[in-house]
Amino acid sequence: MSPKTLYDKIWDAHLVHEAEDGTSLLYIDRHLVHEVTSPQAFEGLRMAGRTVRAPDKTIGVPDHNVPTTLDRAKGIENEESRIQVEALDRNAAEFGIHYYPVSDIRQGIVHIVGPEQGWTLPGMTVVCGDSHTATHGAFGALAHGIGTSEVEHVLATQTLIQSKSKNMKVEITGKLAPGVTAKDITLSVIGETGTAGGTGYVIEYCGEAIRDLSMEGRMTVCNMAIEGGARAGLIAPDEKTFDYVKGRPHAPKGAAWEAALAWWETLKSDADAHWDKVVTIRGEDIAPVVTWGTSPEDVLPITAKVPAPEDFEGGKVGAAKRSLEYMGLTPGTPLNEVEIDTVFIGSCTNGRIEDLRAAAAILKGRKIKEGLRAMIVPGSGLVRAQAEEEGLADIFQEAGFDWRLAGCSMCLAMNPDQLSPGERCAATSNRNFEGRQGRGGRTHLMSPAMAAAAAVTGRLTDVRDLMKVDA
């Protein structure tokens, strides 16, 4: 047999049919559904008199529109948002899928809930009408976002029409320096390859620095594979993966666990597998980074200065000019002098318990800069509960952070958590597009530790400066 990558193996294990031109029908093991990209799909089913083929493999949770304020039990004020969430409530009941309503403590961002509940397992195919489905790749699952028509297709047939992507290997060698986290890895990779660098590929992340990451960190890395243009990002499962999965509500148990484990242990790329593209980055070379522009590829170490349009080539010159204008930044300004108004810690990129621990480690015994608006939005009700149990919530509140309920919140500002025009935000989310966090809002992406540091000083800050004070 010819050597295969992990992606090849998962693909082959799910291939229902392949046409001569390579167009393939792929079986889907898990279909996650949220309220924004599913109403039209369920409506399509209803209109055609179709049913959900595998309701047992379909999991729904509202996240994008839900209020994250403590009084949310009183309902959603915005009528359209409320209608959308109610539509999912109804569709979940009507079609009999697994469902975590707003009132359920397990509710949260779909990409946090899936792994937390053990729905996401190694070797699976996982899709969701959401581009950050790539997150689940951290388990060695082939996971990617789909559009609403495809959501309808998966609901009806439990399959997806696909053509195979190429294989790309991103290797992060060696160790990370102190203060450098998974977010810095994933942003640095995009800074290196560009937002289209992964287009047409499925990325496998590997190397010592990736192995060393926790499952939470691996999810952060895979989450942003999409910002690098890739269809999916994945990491071969190992002991850490199995430990994380074991005992979760929907993970296999007993003999089924043993059988699953035996297969999962084979899920790795063969040593002589063919890669269409390879990118290698030394872990030691990665610094804490921030974005300065309006594309996730606009990444620089916090020690750098705001670039000038002339530093770039081709279409990027104009794009940089537009970005700088939108961001209100002057070339040559040291990044760590850029003052911020708001801090947002949360999202499917960085809303897990470890992210909150990293932020708390910086915030402990400190206060946020006066006048700053700062919020922490845990990725799920269970993350919130755990953070309270560990005393992290007290640290956040004592520091001056607003401690919210779970949801997407200011990651995309579909609910009332939004930036006002010109407001500048240090955010742990994944997109710094124009208007992403609110019309005219200015987003700088960074790690939770960096965002916490920025909250303390009121400007973009090298987290290592605050760590030194501690030592």
Partner 1 sequence: MEKFEKLSGVAAPLPLINVDTDMIIPKQFLKTIKRSGLGVNLFDEMRYDDDGNEIPDFVLNKPAYRNAEILVAGENFGCGSSREHAPWAIKDFGIRCVIAPSYADIFYNNCFKNGILPIALPQEQVDILMAEAEKGANARIEIDLEAQTVTTSEGEVIRFDIDPFKKHCLLEGLDDIALTFEKVAAIDKFEAAASAARPWV
Question: Scanning the structure block, which residue is given the tokens 């053990």?
Answer: 118
Whether 97 and 59 have beta carbons less than 8 Å apart is answered as yes
Among 430, 432, 447, 457, binds ligand SF4 (CB under 6 A): 430
Q: From residue 234, give the alpha-carbon distance in Å to each of 386, 436, 441.
A: 27, 26, 32
The 125-164 contact track toward ligand SF4, x by CB under 6 A, reads -----x-x--------------------------------
Among 48, 70, 93, 105, binds partner 1 (CB under 8 A): 48
Write down the least CB distance from residue 438 to partner 1, Å. 9
Rank residues 13 and 467 by Cβ distance to partner 1 and give the closer one: 13
Whether 110 and 61 have beta carbons less than 8 Å apart is answered as yes
Residue 57 contacts which entry, ligand SF4, partner 1, none (Cβ below 5-8 A, type-dependent): partner 1
Whether 168 and 202 have beta carbons less than 8 Å apart is answered as yes
Residue 350 contacts which entry, ligand SF4, partner 1, none (Cβ below 5-8 A, type-dependent): none
Among 64, 144, 369, 384, binds ligand SF4 (CB under 6 A): 64
Stretch that binds partner 1, among 146-154, 173-181, 272-280, 353-361 (CB under 8 A): 146-154
- Measure the CA–CA gap between 112 and 444, rounded to whole angstroms: 22
User: Pick from 98, 88, 7: which is nearest to 42 by CA?
Assistant: 88
DSSP string for 291-319: E-SSSTT-EEETTSB---GGGS-THHHHH
Among 5, 37, 193, 350, binds partner 1 (CB under 8 A): 37
Residue 93 contacts which entry, ligand SF4, partner 1, none (Cβ below 5-8 A, type-dependent): none
- Measure the CA–CA gap between 254 and 252, rounded to whole angstroms: 7
Among 45, 399, 408, 460, binds ligand SF4 (CB under 6 A): 408
Write down the least CB distance from residue 241 to partner 1, Å. 15
Whether 302 and 290 have beta carbons less than 8 Å apart is answered as yes
Residue 411 contacts which entry, partner 1, ligand SF4, none (Cβ below 5-8 A, type-dependent): ligand SF4
336 binds partner 1 per the rule CB under 8 A: no
Write down the least CB distance from residue 379 to ligand SF4, Å. 8
Scanning residues 79 to 118, which ones bind partner 1 (CB under 8 A)?
A: 80-81, 83-84, 87
Scanning residues 374 to 433, which ones bind partner 1 (CB under 8 A)?
A: 412-414, 421, 431, 433
Contacts 24+ apart (CB under 8 A), 145-153: 145/226, 147/37, 148/37, 148/38, 148/40, 148/41, 149/41, 149/44, 151/31, 151/33, 151/37, 151/38, 151/41, 152/40, 152/41, 152/42, 152/44, 152/45
Among 129, 207, 307, 400, binds partner 1 (CB under 8 A): 129
Which residue ranges are tagged as binding site for [4Fe-4S] cluster? 348, 408, 411
List contacts with ligand SF4 (CB under 6 A).
63-64, 109, 111, 130, 132, 347-348, 408, 411-412, 429-430
